[in-house]
């Protein structure tokens, strides 16, 4: 088991290394934008460009530049942005991460609770009209582009119905730190939470329903029933419990992906200054140090979540463990 | 942002196969036809395709405008009165210009965007681009994934190792970040994308199609590789090997037909996913480039008019929801029909 | 200067004779110009909002109007523009210096005497030698536009090797006498303007020669920096060492504290000002809020014309616009009223054909590219004329790529240019890039941009700042992302005239401006660009703000605003 974990972790580091190479290659082998131009400010004279190029090591060979970038990112941690000079990348990510975590965590609570309720309800009500109805609602949730849903939510809560009692409490778009004003933090995040969770509610409710129904014919469920255990107990103790294994592993992957930058569109629509928005802005300006740092940050969460889920699986089910 | 879950499940109730002597494909076709919801979804999807591809006819014969040309100084007729398409702001300051709202008749049916263009025509044309990019990239992803999955699953060993690691790499790169990075870089490259003799301009629809197709390869390749692995151990493969069949014959004649159903099940769900991705990229202005419009770019245009003319952003969004919903329902139906035992799902 | 948030320019040669246009004295009246309204009381906190920060805060490094609006109330130069609303705001006055010196030694030496008794916010007295540090920092930090100060003796060596930068011969300071003398290698009549920019504002002599990042050094203005966090906010508080020495250049501030917050969407910013939660929005209001502002909040909205222009640069070195007739054709075809509508309508932009903006030195209305030309005003596109010129040029059917930006206005403007080009027989398409990338991209001749969308805002009121920078040979650097002459237009005859006008400006500014008006018309006839319109700026302030003043140089003046 330990060997398996060690190997999986080693693989994770290798993938992260490959990603840094990939990002570097994508941006450095592409002509069109001169980073010295961004660094030197607007319309510098040619001498300044030469000086800047030298100062930032842009006149060095590519492998050296890669190593310098990596050193600044991981060892000295003083990598600075190209387009926002003087802004260190690490503190920028550190200050953006709580925003993304707040967003994803709140949305995750909503989607776990609601999707379990929906999935259970649909499974229990199978055969009635409610089951297909709930599943169609879930499908509609999966079919909505999150940025569009966010726009429509903004239209309703910030403009059309903002004057009414329903949404007059909705504050202007933005983010207030939890430590600054918890009530404001909550109010500003409610709509983004709901928007982000809609897709996952639909997806998880469908998965859960299918998994519960799948256990119907399992021996342990039949045994439990034959022992005369109440239907309710069978459902909650036996069927739901087993079905949650898939659910939990999916949750791990999705949570990792969202914290790693997957919530980008939600952050853009609601103006939340999280890691996704930071990544998007840096891509917009081709601000390589920030792109590199945010992509490594995002990939870390994704790869880490993948590895964690694999290890958990291996722990739960020894058959998966490779010899 | 997409995941495929393979779940073993029981056959659909009431669909007990007792038909013998028919090909599995015919059986699947019959099952699909019996699924009324799936048929309704298929009809809806085909209707959207039809309407979208009739966009030029609508623009020429109904709207009488060219939705790709600014019409800032134009006029239209409402209730017999000629009104300007962009109306100057009120008050003493007269700031800003507001485009005309829905007229609910042929010309400017859904109103104009802030460049004075007919929104209805743009939504229809947008559908054409969205569908082309969506279907095209899903096909590319499935084709490439089938090849990768076949090679990796069949040969195993080093081939599998290299391909799987490569897939892991793309997998670990957040889908949107990868697509945005590649999109931004290719747009900035002076001459678009040059692949040997093939040269793709930044404005070409091929660019988003290839990018989106590319990033989804691992998502399809994983389940295919799994299917290949399980088929490879079957007796008829051993039999074919014993008869001296070549690797290529084994791969394409024996294994491929047995995993192709996985691909077919995944295709509608994949198209749903790629259409959503395309709209997101275009919304961030790195997907479909002007002069082409897609549903995502129309939403992007409408974002600036959200509070004054919300219909510009809402209409293309409704089209996306309908299309993706139809594809998801259809996908469910195809899965149930083709592969009643294994449930393959895709989401996000 | 390139736009509201980013200014720019390269090699500048002088035009306006500053010494004659400046009063030289230190009058005491604080004239309230056209843009001023009556003031309120002292005290309170002014809350300003911007979607994004201005990058580095070091005054030697920052090149944005956004921060400069704060630097002019936290620092002082030897000379400063009059701190007032209205046209008088273009007048240069002595600030830290007792008077504006007449250049000596054939225009190569400027000798200033410092006012006594001025202290930095940390209590250190201002010394003449502080300016040696200020100028040296231009090359060691390095400053983004240190070419401004490249004429100082010793500066060319500093440009080549910053580490051994020695300006002691170029900037001669005598702390005992309180005099600082600048020695130039060649006459530079615009040198005083350059000293009025925040790059040259006084900082203590012991300030580090390296980039200070987000920690601005102490200054002499009525406010001082308490903090600058680029992710959240900047806070300015009263400078305890400040005493008014010349209310015309550096009046005391009205409010006690200025909070400048970042990160909200522009929509949310406008809403906050409407609700009185904030006092001013830096970013232009979104187009779908304009109607609301002009109907419900008209008394809180101030609209001022900018000496700026929106234009398309036509690359004169590659087909089809290496042909003058082709360039004139698109000038005739461009429907400027459509571009005006995209920008927000006739209340926010005025169509133009020429380079110099209205109310600018050397401006004389000129518009040949219109129906019914003659009165210098644009009336409408002349498509027949345009098509005829295309036919004569033999460029019909040529493929043209228009490189625009992805923002709302930029996208629509690029699309309109594509339409205008297609209307006269070209096969045009648009290529849109993010604004931050596009500006460098269109400048580099290696990218072979045929038509590039751009804007230009004045650095200071001099015709050369438009004509010589945008269409003069010195502004064209092939193969470089730093080439503000995007058209690559370099006409020997016109350049000779510009050089002559620059020299003439040293002695006779009125005659020089006549000359610039002629050059403006000649460049317009050559058509290395399609001028679209001169924009206006909207300032949206909260109900409680009093004392609004708008200077053509620095725009809204924060120190005049009161909230009580």
> Per-residue pLDDT tens for C399-424?
999 999 988 899 999 999 999 999 99
C344 vs B contacts (CB less than 8 Å): 95-97
Q: Which residue from C6, C263, C477 is facing A174, i.e. has the nearest CB?
A: C263
* Contact between chains at C55 and A84 (C-beta distance less than 8 A): yes
Q: Compute CA C418 distance to the chain's CA centroid, rounded to the nearest angstrom.
A: 29
Q: Considering only A11-25, A35-49, A155-169, which range has the smallest mean pLDDT?
A: A35-49
Average pLDDT, chain A: 84
Query: Mind telling me how many Å the CA of B279 is from chain C's nearest CA?
Result: 16
Would you say residue A231 has pLDDT above 90?
Answer: no
Q: Which residue from B86, B190, B306 is facing C448, i.e. has the nearest CB?
A: B190
Q: How far apart are CA B154 and CA B163, in angstroms?
A: 12
- On whether the CB atoms of residues A310 and A8 are closer than 8 A, the answer is yes
Give phi and psi for A80, each to the nearest 5: -115, 155
* Contact between chains at C344 and B95 (C-beta distance less than 8 A): yes
| Chain C: partners with 3+ C-beta pairs within 8 Å | A, B
Task: Name the band, by pLDDT with cuts 50, 70 and 90, for residue A226.
Answer: confident
Give phi and psi for C411, each to the nearest 5: -60, -45
Which of helix, strand or coil describes residue C181? strand
* Class of residue A76 by CB neighbours under 10 A (exposed 0-12, middle 13-18, buried 19+): exposed
Q: Considering only A119-133, A155-169, B19-33, which range has the smallest mean pLDDT?
A: B19-33
Find which of A41, A90, A288 to mutate to test the C interface (most C CBs within 10 Å of its CB). A41
Q: Which residue from A34, A174, A285 is facing C481, i.e. has the nearest CB?
A: A34
Q: Which residue from B177, B283, B325 is facing A279, i.e. has the nearest CB?
A: B177
Q: Which residue from B98, B115, B307 is facing C415, i.e. has the nearest CB?
A: B115
* Angle at A65 (CA atoms; ends A60, A66), nearest 5 degrees: 155
Per-residue pLDDT of chain B in tens (348 residues, 90 and over written 9) = 444 444 434 444 444 444 455 677 787 888 888 888 899 999 999 999 999 999 999 999 988 888 888 888 888 888 888 899 998 888 888 888 889 989 888 889 999 998 999 999 999 999 999 999 999 999 999 999 999 999 998 888 888 888 888 888 887 776 777 777 777 777 766 666 666 667 777 778 888 899 899 889 988 898 888 888 888 888 888 888 888 888 888 888 888 888 888 888 889 999 999 999 999 999 988 888 877 899 999 999 998 888 889 999 999 999 999 999 999 999 988 888 886 554 444 333
H-run or E-run covering A232? helix A231-233
Interface confidence (ipTM) of the complex? 0.88
Q: How far apart are CA A222 and CA A211, in angstroms?
A: 16
* pLDDT over 70, % of chain A: 92
Q: Please name which of B266, B270, B275 lies closest in space to residue B129, comparing C-alpha atoms.
A: B275
H-run or E-run covering A53? helix A46-55
Q: Compute CA C73 distance to the chain's CA centroid, rounded to the nearest angstrom.
A: 18
The DSSP result for A161-200, as a single string, is TTTSTTTTTPPPSS---TTT-HHHHHHHHHHHHHHHHHHH
Burial readout B107-141 (b: 16 or more C-beta within 10 A, e: otherwise)? bbbbbbbbbbbbbbbbbbbbbbbbbbbbbbbbbbb
* Contact between chains at B289 and C294 (C-beta distance less than 8 A): no
pLDDT value of position B1? 40
pLDDT for A239-248, tens place per residue? 888 788 778 8
User: Omega before B291 cis (within 30°)?
Assistant: yes
pLDDT value of position B20? 53
Per-window interface: B 173-212 vs A, CB < 8 A = 173-177, 180-182, 184-185, 188-190
* Contact between chains at B93 and C288 (C-beta distance less than 8 A): no
Residue ranges in chain C whose pLDDT is less than 70 = 1-39
The chain C residue lying nearest A177, using CA atoms, is C232
Task: Name the band, by pLDDT with cuts 50, 70 and 90, for residue A309.
Answer: confident
Give phi and psi for A255, each to the nearest 5: -60, -45
* pLDDT over 90, % of chain A: 24
- On whether the CB atoms of residues A151 and A213 are closer than 8 A, the answer is no
- CA C211, C213, C218, C221 torsion-angle sign: positive
User: Omega before C320 cis (within 30°)?
Assistant: yes
Would you list which residues of chain C are within 8 Å, Cβ to Cβ, of chain B?
Answer: 286-291, 293-296, 298, 301, 303, 335, 337-338, 341-342, 344-348, 406, 408, 411-412, 414-416, 418-419, 422, 429-434, 437, 441, 446-448, 538
* Contact between chains at A151 and B303 (C-beta distance less than 8 A): yes
Per-window interface: A 182-201 vs B, CB < 8 A = 199
Helix axes B206-215, B256-283, angle to 10 degrees: 120
Terminal CA-CA length for chain C: 34
The partner residues of C225 in beta bridges, in order of sequence, read C236
pLDDT value of position B19? 47
* Angle at A130 (CA atoms; ends A124, A136), nearest 5 degrees: 115
pLDDT value of position B21? 59
The chain C residue lying nearest B201, using CA atoms, is C431
Q: Please name which of B254, B269, B257 lies closest in space to residue B219, comparing C-alpha atoms.
A: B269
Task: Name the band, by pLDDT with cuts 50, 70 and 90, for residue A172.
Answer: confident
Q: Which residues contact B11 (CB under 8 A, 6 or more apart)?
A: B17, B340, B341
Q: Which residues contact A49 (CB under 8 A, 6 or more apart)?
A: A36, A37, A40, C480, C482
Which of helix, strand or coil describes residue C96? coil
Give phi and psi for A83, each to the nearest 5: -90, -25
């Amino acid at each position: 088991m330990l060997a398996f974990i060690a190997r999986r972790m080693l693989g994770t580091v290798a993938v992260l290394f490959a990603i840094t190479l990939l990002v570097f290659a994508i941006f450095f082998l592409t002509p069109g934008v001169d980073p010295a131009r961004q660094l030197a400010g607007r319309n510098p004279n040619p001498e300044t460009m030469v000086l800047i190029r030298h100062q930032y090591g842009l006149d060095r060979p590519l492998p050296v530049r890669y190593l310098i970038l990596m050193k600044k990112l991981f060892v000295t941690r003083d990598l600075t942005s190209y387009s926002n000079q003087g802004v260190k990348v690490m503190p920028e990510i550190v200050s953006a991460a709580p925003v993304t975590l707040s967003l994803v965590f709140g949305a995750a609570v909503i989607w776990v609770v609601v999707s379990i309720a929906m999935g259970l309800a649909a499974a229990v009500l199978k055969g009635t009209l409610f089951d297909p109805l709930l599943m169609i609602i879930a499908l509609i949730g999966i079919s909505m582009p999150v940025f569009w849903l966010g726009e429509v939510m903004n239209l309703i809560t910030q403009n059309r119905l903002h004057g009414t009692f329903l949404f007059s409490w909705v504050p202007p778009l933005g983010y207030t730190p939890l430590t600054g004003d918890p009530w404001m933090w909550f109010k500003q995040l409610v709509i983004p939470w709901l928007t982000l969770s809609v897709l996952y509610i639909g997806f998880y409710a469908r998965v859960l329903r299918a998994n519960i129904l799948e256990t119907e014919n399992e021996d342990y469920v039949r045994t439990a029933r034959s022992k005369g255990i109440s239907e309710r107990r069978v459902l909650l103790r036996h069927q739901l419990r087993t079905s949650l294994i898939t659910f939990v592993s999916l949750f791990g992957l999705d949570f990792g992906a969202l914290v790693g930058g997957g919530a980008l569109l939600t952050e853009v629509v609601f103006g939340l200054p999280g890691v996704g928005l930071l990544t998007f802005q840096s891509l917009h300006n081709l601000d390589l140090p920030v792109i590199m740092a945010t992509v490594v940050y995002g990939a870390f969460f994704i790869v880490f979540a993948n590895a964690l889920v694999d290890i958990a699986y291996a722990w739960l089910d020894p058959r998966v463990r490779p010899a | 942002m997409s995941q495929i879950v393979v779940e073993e499940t029981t056959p659909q109730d009431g669909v007990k196969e007792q038909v013998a002597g028919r090909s599995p494909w015919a059986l699947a076709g019959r099952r699909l036809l019996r699924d009324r919801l799936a048929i309704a979804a298929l009809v809806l999807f085909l209707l959207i395709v039809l309407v979208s591809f009739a966009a030029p006819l609508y623009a020429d014969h109904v709207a009488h405008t060219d939705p790709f040309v600014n019409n800032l100084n134009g006029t239209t007729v409402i209730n017999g009165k000629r009104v300007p398409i962009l109306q100057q702001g009120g008050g003493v300051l007269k700031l800003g210009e507001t485009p005309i709202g829905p007229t609910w008749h042929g010309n400017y049916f859904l109103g104009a965007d802030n460049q004075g263009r007919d929104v209805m025509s743009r939504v229809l044309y947008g559908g054409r681009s969205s569908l082309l990019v969506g279907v095209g990239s899903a096909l590319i992803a499935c084709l490439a994934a089938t090849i990768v999955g076949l090679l990796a699953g069949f040969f195993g060993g080093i081939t599998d190792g290299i391909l799987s690691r490569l897939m892991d790499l793309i997998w670990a790169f957040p889908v949107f970040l990868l697509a945005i990075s590649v999109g931004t870089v290719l747009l900035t490259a002076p001459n678009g994308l040059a692949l040997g003799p093939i040269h793709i301009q930044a404005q070409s629809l091929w660019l988003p199609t290839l990018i989106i197709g590319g990033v989804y390869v691992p998502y399809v390749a994983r389940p295919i590789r799994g299917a290949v692995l399980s088929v490879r151990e079957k007796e008829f493969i051993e039999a074919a090997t014993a008869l001296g069949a070549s690797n290529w014959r084994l791969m394409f004649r024996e294994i491929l037909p047995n995993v192709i159903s996985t691909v077919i099940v995944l295709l509608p769900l994949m198209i749903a996913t790629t259409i959503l991705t395309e709209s997101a990229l275009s919304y961030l202005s790195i997907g479909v480039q002007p002069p082409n419009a897609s549903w995502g770019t129309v939403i992007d245009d409408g974002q600036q008019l959200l509070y004054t003319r919300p219909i510009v952003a809402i209409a293309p969004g409704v089209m996306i929801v309908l299309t993706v919903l139809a594809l998801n329902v259809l996908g469910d139906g195809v899965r149930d029909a083709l592969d009643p035992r294994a449930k393959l799902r895709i989401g996000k | 200067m390139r736009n509201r948030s980013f200014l720019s320019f390269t090699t500048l040669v002088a035009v306006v004779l500053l010494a004659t246009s400046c009063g030289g004295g230190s009058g005491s009246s604080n004239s309230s110009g056209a843009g001023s309204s009556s003031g309120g009381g002292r005290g309170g906190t002014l809350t300003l909002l911007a979607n994004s920060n201005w990058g580095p805060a070091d005054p030697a490094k920052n090149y944005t109007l956004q921060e400069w609006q704060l630097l002019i109330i936290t620092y002082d130069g030897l000379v400063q523009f009059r701190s007032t609303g209205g046209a008088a705001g273009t007048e240069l006055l002595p600030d830290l210096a007792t008077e504006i010196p007449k250049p000596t030694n054939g225009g190569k030496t400027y000798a200033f005497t410092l006012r006594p008794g001025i202290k930095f916010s940390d209590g250190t007295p201002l010394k003449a030698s502080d300016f040696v540090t200020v100028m040296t920092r231009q090359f060691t930090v390095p400053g983004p536009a240190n070419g401004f100060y490249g004429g100082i003796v010793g500066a060319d060596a500093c440009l080549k090797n910053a580490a051994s930068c020695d300006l002691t011969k170029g900037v001669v300071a005598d702390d005992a006498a309180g005099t600082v003398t600048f020695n130039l290698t060649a006459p530079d009549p615009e040198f005083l303007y350059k000293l009025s920019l925040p790059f040259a504002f006084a900082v203590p002599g012991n300030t580090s020669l390296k980039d200070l990042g987000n920690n601005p050094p102490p200054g002499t203005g009525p406010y001082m920096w308490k903090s600058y966090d680029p992710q959240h906010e900047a806070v300015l508080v009263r400078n305890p060492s400040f005493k008014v020495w010349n209310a015309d250049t550096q009046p005391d501030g009205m409010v006690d504290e200025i909070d400048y917050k970042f990160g909200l969407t522009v929509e949310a910013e406008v809403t906050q000002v409407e609700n009185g939660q904030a006092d001013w929005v830096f970013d232009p209001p979104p187009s779908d809020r304009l109607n609301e502002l002009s109907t419900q909040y008209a008394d809180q909205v101030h609209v001022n014309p900018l000496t700026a222009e929106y234009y398309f640069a036509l690359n004169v070195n590659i087909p089809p616009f290496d042909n003058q007739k082709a360039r004139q054709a698109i000038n005739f075809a461009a429907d400027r009223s459509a571009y005006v509508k995209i920008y927000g309508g006739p209340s926010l932009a005025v169509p133009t054909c020429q380079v110099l903006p209205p109310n600018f030195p050397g401006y004389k209305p000129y518009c040949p590219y219109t129906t019914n030309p003659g009165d210098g005003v644009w009336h409408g596109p002349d498509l027949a004329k345009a098509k005829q010129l295309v036919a004569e040029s033999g460029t019909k059917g040529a493929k043209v790529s228009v490189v625009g930006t992805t923002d709302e206005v930029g996208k629509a403007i690029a699309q309109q240019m594509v339409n205008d080009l297609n209307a006269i027989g070209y096969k045009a398409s648009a290529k849109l890039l993010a604004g931050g990338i596009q500006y460098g991209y269109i400048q580099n001749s290696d990218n072979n941009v045929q038509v590039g969308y751009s804007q230009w805002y004045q650095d200071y009121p001099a015709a050369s700042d438009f004509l010589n920078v945008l269409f003069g040979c010195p502004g064209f650097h092939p193969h470089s992302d730093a080439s503000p002459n995007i058209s690559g237009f370099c006409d020997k005859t016109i350049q000779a005239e510009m050089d002559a006008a620059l020299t003439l400006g040293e002695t006779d500014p009125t005659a020089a401006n006549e000359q610039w008006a002629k050059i403006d018309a000649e460049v317009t006839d050559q058509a290395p660009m399609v001028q679209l319109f001169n924009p206006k700026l909207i300032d949206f302030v909260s109900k409680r703000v009093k004392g609004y003043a708008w200077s053509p140089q620095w725009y809204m003046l924060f120190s005049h605003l009161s909230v009580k």
